[in-house]
Structure 1
């Protein structure tokens, strides 16, 4: 299968998606956008659903590759690596939402066509984040999996507000300061916190 030609089919499917949505798009629409016959499109996709699944997978794969590069950057501090993983998710959502209200259909985890792709994408991001937090260390009250879940929840929240992109940096700064900055020591119970531990209390 010609990869370049498949990319043209998926580009045409995306163009139709932004105009009509998944349900109203037809194979004739995709073929017409490409300027080819419908039979030519069938050489690369089985049907409309297959075209949109391949499109969704391509977009999620591109975002995941970006997240993996950020997570693996040996020269970046852990906070920046975590932020890079989260930015890959947020940017994908904002890009699709900005192109058309219909584009967000590709992100619907409850949709029959895309649910497994969306869930797999989020699951892989969570795995990357758990690895980063395990490597960096977290406070005793938050384990790496919980830290990953908090970060994903934050980004999901930012996806739903008008100024999510502007709030991304301060929101992640605030969250990561608490998660990555473990307390320097545990204060023993029954010892006043403003008294040095090695000084007799009498």
Structure 2
């Protein structure tokens, strides 16, 4: 007979898996139809769950949206960790980090007609999740710049600004690269690579 700790652990795992299942379903629907046109009924059907089961874990669509954004953050963080383990020159690692973070999110939300709406919803109901998402990149970028500077591969002192300002500028550039005409995922990844080349050249020895 399983003890209480094993039972509670299994229940926690089941809950975590169920939340991820719903978040995945919501991501597909929000990217396809937008936030307003997607209902809790739609999400339940897409996730293969009864609506009552959905409401056991979420109060409403806002909660589902935040869970979806958190799920993307976890996936992005995992990809960023893989980048940090790469043995490659600084420009290649910076490119990979930008793409792991920004291009992954861009591809997740889709590049169609609902992207502007989803961004507005993020700013309205998922501020904490957005901040946590940004901190993922900030943390890994700080580590990448610091470690490669200490190894003598780059020279941070060369740019004459604080590291946090440099990283913030990098983030502004990555966000700005999405602007303009409708951009494919490949096109955005290419722009991120160009940004990485510019910043790598700025700190290069």
State the TM-score, normalizing by the size of structure 2: 0.73
User: 1:89: how far off?
Assistant: 2.5
Runs of 4+ in structure 1 displaced over 4 angstroms?
Answer: 103-110
Q: Which residue of 1 aligns with 2:94?
A: 82
Deviations 1:62-102 (A, max 9, x none): 1122123323x262333333222211232134313535433
Q: Which has the higher helix share?
A: 2
- Greater shift after overlay, 155-164 or 53-62? 155-164
Q: Does 1:168 align with 2:180?
A: no
Alignment of 1:106-145 (within 5 A): 106-108=118-120, 111-135=123-147, 136=149, 137-138=155-156, 139=158, 141-145=160-164
2:59 partner SS: coil
Change (3 A) 1:89 1:160: farther
1:105-133 deviation digits (Å, cap 9, x = unpaired): 55558622222211221133123222322
Structure possessing the higher radius of gyration over alpha carbons: 1
TM-score, normalisation: structure 1: 0.74
8 Å Cα contact 1:109/1:115 also seen in 2:
no
Aligned to 2:4: none
Q: Distance in 2 between matches of 1:132 and 1:35?
A: 41
Within 2, Cα distance between the matches of 1:91 and 1:123?
A: 16
> For 1:37-76, what aligned pairs fall within 5 Å after superposition?
37-71=50-84, 73=85, 75-76=87-88
Aligned residues: 180
In the alignment, the residues of structure 2 paired with residue 19 and residue 116 of structure 1 have an alpha-carbon distance, to the nearest angstrom, of 24
User: Which whole-Å CA distance do the structure 2 matches of 1:111 and 1:141 have between them?
Assistant: 33
Gaps of 5+ in 2: 1-11, 150-154
The CA RMSD measured in Å over matched residues stands at 2.6
